[in-house]
Structure 1
């Protein structure tokens, strides 16, 4: 169903009573869950979970990426926009919930940035490529790490604000999303065969980079900041395929890899402690943890009640091969890689990223949980 963002409101209402869930799809109505916050703009830093078109505009790699062509985007836009999904992302639903248009990517120089900017780049990392290289971790997709995105943000504000005081005043009614970021630092390390214990050693560095990013956006004038954590990566087809084992003890009751999920919890625990420290440093700012881990687990564990096919909960819609429809050497967008007929029945789109349907439910759960913490009603 196509949505006219100039006139259509987005309603999210999640009710949990036992195992019954009601989620209202995008439709015409008079209530925006985040409209009470009266946001004028949204600013996004991050990676492929939230990139709306920056990576595909980065030469020379952008033109060759599958995210810039069908089947990406096929189930909403009817063409690819650079989003790593078959349609909308969570940031799109956050914008709709705020009564705002979708965020345009910073690299689209002809775009309208009156309601915010998306600086996120698919494949980006929290640590710079140089810092990762010093730890013998290569970053093969992009050099536009978190510090680069922060530089873009600074450049943007210099062009739109007369001075820092002017920016502080203008950004009082803005929402800042710092992440999800850091997932690729770990993805690259783990698939370059670093052990989980080795990768744990970079968690403090990653969290410090995120913490420093929050400080910088607050310096620009941010008052409300959401800092998302990492997903339970042990439930994703890419990891279930790459780290498949015959050891049944390695899996939990949902057949997710326990050690990888425990690693995500390890990162998220460090991040939440950093957020508490930031709250002490900046008592006038509202800094909220975005619980991607438990929002995904809620979605995953209740998939049948939300309309997903239980038999495909861990399979990619767009992909081929093995138990999870995923092959690292023949991923979604490659020639002759099939796409499922009913993407709304799948949680995973391409084995790495989620479908629009999954992002819709996750966004609804997050908005439901985060809204009271944003302190929009005094």
Structure 2
């Protein structure tokens, strides 16, 4: 396993890139006629929610700096201080940036930051659907979040005020950029489930979630984006927050990995619906590269091999930073960052950081599956 701490950034970039190329060959991504080519990306633009937020939510109003991700133990593994990432360290988007030789993305709301190599627009707890739409479905969303449509508006403001001195400059920059739209839609589903909506009720507005994501991708293409990656949703039935709330005593309710079947089936339905819509969008924009990143399959693949990767066999579904003990060490009323809640001394042995988000080591394990697959399918312009 690649050691992250103590390596200079250039050495780390080189090591990750070499590892990814070797991994791609070993996993069947590369064959005699196909090699993984790392395109010369100029920038990365990220939309989404907490899985990719590098510090936006902690900068929202007066409440932001008081949120858990603004204080330790968040960031305890890397860089040793809180950054607004909802993890002990790096996220998937961080590993993506390093794999293509770019600096880590700064959050859009950090007005003192450099955005030369892209921007992170993702905001924790954000939804694919607008807050008003979800309210009509009886789902309450935190008012401080920024739905996907709002993040797209941020992109347009950024382009018009920051980097495009002339239309030709903007077109050239975006043509050589990589856009990630998501992973988003997870919160729409999770908020609804924990607030009492049935799986059938949630499934009924999955098409609306898909439409919102597709519309966002369409807008990205219309402003000049040409290489867009749209991740699917992780298997939500494998996460401690939902396992603790919806767990049963019936073994038939769980799959072979120990995850809740019904919630994972809902997630599969959501991902399949998204993939079908992306297929139609590719026909609408044949000159754009629109890729689906299968986070669901990547998570399951790594979960099945987790003990071999150094994760503790008996703690695959336990939170590192949590309270409540029991099977999952998760209590939604006393979460990581709350008074009296401490993190475990060995985060690299855990998949789950706080019951909703993953540890740095889990992000790395998933990245080792996802990134080579993305790079092997990206067309260089």
- What interval of TM-score do these two structures reach, taking the shorter chain for normalisation? over 0.9
Q: Note the C-alpha offset of 1:248.
A: 1.6
Is 1:320–1:326's contact at 8 Å kept on the other side of the alignment? yes
Q: Which residue of 2 is the match for residue 371 of structure 1?
A: 375
1:245-290, Cα deviation, whole Å (9 max, x unpaired): 1122111122110000001100000000011011101111101001
1:68-109, Cα deviation, whole Å (9 max, x unpaired): 100000001111000000000000000000100000000000
Which stretch has the larger CA shift, 81-90 or 214-223? Answer: 214-223
Question: How many angstroms apart in 1 are the aligned matches of 2:194 and 2:143?
Answer: 14
Number of aligned residue pairs: 364
Which stretch has the larger CA shift, 139-148 or 309-318? Answer: 139-148
Question: How many angstroms apart in 1 are the aligned matches of 2:106 and 2:37?
Answer: 20
Is 1:128–1:143's contact at 8 Å kept on the other side of the alignment? no
Q: Note the C-alpha offset of 1:4.
A: 3.8
Q: Which residue of 1 is the match for residue 64 of structure 2?
A: 62
Q: Which residue of 1 is the match for residue 32 of structure 2?
A: none
CA gap of 1:306–1:7, structure 2 versus 1, over 3 A, is closer
Query: Secondary structure, in 3 states, of the residue corresponding to 2:44?
Result: strand
Q: Note the C-alpha offset of 1:166.
A: 3.7
Say if 2:325 is the partner of 1:324. no
Q: Which residue of 2 is the match for residue 130 of structure 1?
A: 132
Choose from 273, 277, 285 the match for 2:276.
273
1:156-212, Cα deviation, whole Å (9 max, x unpaired): 000121354542222111000000011101111001010000000110111000000
Question: Residues 73-152 of structure 1: matches in 2 within 5 Å?
Answer: 73-140=75-142, 142-152=144-154
Choose from 253, 261, 265 the match for 2:264.
261
CA gap of 1:240–1:141, structure 2 versus 1, over 3 A, is farther
CA gap of 1:193–1:372, structure 2 versus 1, over 3 A, is same
Say if 2:329 is the partner of 1:334. no
1:210-248, Cα deviation, whole Å (9 max, x unpaired): 000000111111111000000001011111101011122
CA gap of 1:370–1:342, structure 2 versus 1, over 3 A, is same
1:104-132, Cα deviation, whole Å (9 max, x unpaired): 00000010000000000000001111111
Q: Which residue of 2 is the match for residue 171 of structure 1?
A: 174
Q: Which residue of 1 is the match for residue 232 of structure 2?
A: 229
Is 1:234–1:261's contact at 8 Å kept on the other side of the alignment? yes
Query: Secondary structure, in 3 states, of the residue corresponding to 1:177?
Result: strand
Question: How many angstroms apart in 2 are the aligned matches of 1:308 and 1:16?
Answer: 22
Say if 2:350 is the partner of 1:352. no
Q: Note the C-alpha offset of 1:16.
A: 9.1
Which stretch has the larger CA shift, 364-373 or 152-161? Answer: 364-373
CA gap of 1:325–1:258, structure 2 versus 1, over 3 A, is same
CA gap of 1:34–1:133, structure 2 versus 1, over 3 A, is farther
Is 1:125–1:146's contact at 8 Å kept on the other side of the alignment? yes
Question: How many angstroms apart in 2 are the aligned matches of 1:96 and 1:214?
Answer: 24
Question: How many angstroms apart in 2 are the aligned matches of 1:72 and 1:201?
Answer: 36
Q: Note the C-alpha offset of 1:370.
A: 1.6
Q: Note the C-alpha offset of 1:364.
A: 1.3
Is 1:236–1:351's contact at 8 Å kept on the other side of the alignment? yes
Unmatched segments (≥5 aa) in structure 2: 28-34
Aligned-pair RMSD on alpha carbons?
A: 1.9
Query: Secondary structure, in 3 states, of the residue corresponding to 1:43?
Result: strand
Q: Note the C-alpha offset of 1:59.
A: 1.0
Which stretch has the larger CA shift, 135-144 or 64-73? Answer: 135-144
Q: Note the C-alpha offset of 1:44.
A: 0.3
Choose from 45, 53, 66 the match for 1:51.
53
Question: How many angstroms apart in 2 are the aligned matches of 1:234 and 1:141?
Answer: 26
Q: Which residue of 2 is the match for residue 213 of structure 1?
A: 216
